[in-house]
Structure formats: structure tokens, C-alpha cells
Amino acid sequence: MNHVAELASFRIRSAVEEVAEFLRLRIQGGIYVVGTRMPPERVLTAEVGVARPTLRQALERLKAEGYLEAKQGAFAGTYVTDLIVPTDNWLRHMRAHPDEFDDIYRFDLLIEAGAAAMAAERRTEADLGEIQLAIDQLRVLARLDSLKDQTLRPEYAPLRGADMYFHQAIAVASGSRRLADAAFRIRGELFTAGVVTRYGGEQLPDVQVEHEAVLDAIRAGDPAAARQAMEIHVRAGYQRYTSVLGGGSVSA
């Protein structure tokens, strides 16, 4: 295979496609949480830097794909759906294209481990507080009986937010905007907002132990230990993903 030619063969996307992809990744990564109302159009247009007609076309595309829905009445607006349909579509796509999932996973391993190592060198007390807060939120949520249910439900929304917040807080603590941007994108590509709810609550204790090991290394200012702890966490996460995808393995 000619990898140079493969890398060079990209397609220029329209503004609507770019905006739809940006918002799609934010939903898939847990920035916009299931069941919550999307920000007003004026906020979104300022955030993505496009005119309202372009934004509206992108929002309509995401509605057609099952990410968003319009609600009427006292709480009218555009809301994030339960994500059942797009999560099923994502899983179906990755089962059919295991090489793509392999590529995403390997990139995630590099980004997350690198961010943890840099965070161990650069973190502030405020950064440590933000990471600890995410861990504390996940610990509280693990006690909720609703987490024993392995279906996609609105009750899982805080869980999605807490897990995303942990990884994003570490990326911010790295002190690198580019690393933080890459971490945000990869969490979206992994569709953590949807797939994490397919694990089942019984796996949360393992996730908590892994998170705490990462934080301990970052707090100790040990880049090598932080990198190793995050690699262990990402690899364990990969195993949780493959259990949902239906097996298979990636050599790490």
C-alpha cells in the first residue's frame, strides 16, 4: 500500500460538514450531555465561527443522524438524544472496520499517556483539584443503583460527564493546548458518551482504581509513572471496548 498517497488523498469538506463534525465529536465525547439542551444558536455560531444558516444545516444533519431532537412546549429547544441510534451505528461501523478502531485506539494511547506525563511535570494545585473532583464525582455515581442497568438511559449522563471531565482535566493540566485539543477529538472519535454506558456499572470500580493510580502519579510529579498508569488505563479501556464490540484484540 502506498501510504504517502493514502495520506495525501483527503477530501475538502463543506462548511456544513465541518460544523456537523465538530458538534458530533462534542456530543460523542460527552461535552454536550445526553438529555441536555444545546446552547442557543448565537452561542454556537460564535463558538464555531459560522453564519446561522450554516449552523442550522449542520444541526438538521445531526437530527437526521439521531444525535439531536427538537422539543416543543415550555422547554422548547434542541436537545441531545439518548444516542442509542448513533451509538449502534458507530459500533456497527467499527465492527466492519476493525483497522479504523485499531488506529483510533493507538492514537488515543499516545495522546492520553503523553498528556498524563506532561501533567505530572506541569500540573498546578488547581489542576489536581479538578482531576480529583472528577474522580469524586465518579465515586458518588458508582453508588447509584441505576448504574447496574446496562442499557442506555438518561441517568447515565452524569457518568459520561465525569469520565470525560477526568480525561479533559488531565489534558488541560498538561499545559499544551494542542494536546488538549487532540485529547478532546480522540474522546469524540471513540464515542465515549455512548459506548461507556454499554459496559455496565460493575466495571466502574476498576475504572476508579485506574483513575486514582493516574492521579497519584501526577500528584507525585512522576512523569514515567503517570505515563505507565495512563497506558494501563487506556489498555484496560480497550478491553472494555472490545467486549462491547464483540471480541478481538490489538497488540499494544
Extents of the domains making up the chain: 3-81, 85-245
Q: Provide the sign of the torsion angle of the four alpha carbons 140, 231, 223, 110, taken in this order.
A: negative
85-245 has the same fold as 3-81: no
Higher-confidence position of 171 and 203: 171
Confidence of residue 150 (pLDDT cuts 50, 70, 90): very low
Q: Where are the alpha helices (DSSP H) in the chain?
A: 3-8, 15-28, 41-48, 52-64, 84-96, 98-122, 125-141, 157-173, 177-189, 192-195, 204-219, 223-245
Higher-confidence position of 169 and 10: 169
What distances in angstroms separate CA 122 from CA 16, 111, 127, 129, 224, one per listed residue?
38, 16, 9, 14, 14
Q: Which amino acid is at 137?
A: Q
Residue-wise burial string across 181-210, b where 16 or more C-beta atoms lie within 10 A, e elsewhere = ebbbbbbbbbbbbbbbbbbebebbeebeeb
Angle among Cα 46, 161, 96 to the nearest 5 degrees reads: 90
Of the listed ranges 21-35, 117-131, 156-170, 192-206, the one predicted with least confidence: 192-206
Higher-confidence position of 140 and 93: 93
Q: What is the pLDDT of residue 158?
A: 59
Higher-confidence position of 139 and 131: 131
Confidence of residue 123 (pLDDT cuts 50, 70, 90): very high
Confidence of residue 99 (pLDDT cuts 50, 70, 90): very high
Q: What is the pLDDT of residue 152?
A: 44
Q: Quick one: average pLDDT of 107-119? A: 97
User: pLDDT at residue 124 above 80?
Assistant: yes
Q: For the purposes of burial, counting CB atoms within 10 Å of the CB of 177, is it exposed (0-12), middle (13-18) or buried (19 or more)?
A: exposed
Q: What is the pLDDT of residue 207?
A: 87
Confidence of residue 138 (pLDDT cuts 50, 70, 90): confident
Q: Which residues contact 209 (CB under 8 A, 6 or more apart)?
A: none
Q: What is the pLDDT of residue 252?
A: 43
Question: All 3 cell numbers of residue 107?
Answer: 492514537
What tens digit of pLDDT does each residue of 195-251 get?
876 665 567 788 889 999 999 999 999 999 999 999 999 999 998 888 888 854 444
Q: Would you tell me which CATH number, out of the four given (2.60.120.10, 3.40.50.620, 1.10.940.10, 1.20.120.530), belongs to the domain 85-245?
A: 1.20.120.530
- Closest C-alpha to 61, from 29, 27, 12, 101: 27
Question: All 3 cell numbers of residue 166?
Answer: 477526568
Of the listed ranges 81-90, 98-107, 108-117, 157-166, the one predicted with least confidence: 157-166
φ/ψ region of 137 (left if φ > 0, alpha if ψ in -120 to 50, else beta) reads alpha
Third-level CATH fold of 3-81: Arc Repressor Mutant, subunit A (1.10.10)
What tens digit of pLDDT does each residue of 71-91 get?
998 888 999 998 999 999 999
Q: What is the pLDDT of residue 116?
A: 98
What tens digit of pLDDT does each residue of 4-61 get?
555 455 566 789 999 999 999 999 988 888 888 999 999 999 989 999 999 999 999 9
Q: Quick one: average pLDDT of 88-110? A: 94
Higher-confidence position of 203 and 62: 62
Q: Provide the sign of the torsion angle of the four alpha carbons 162, 167, 172, 174, taken in this order.
A: positive
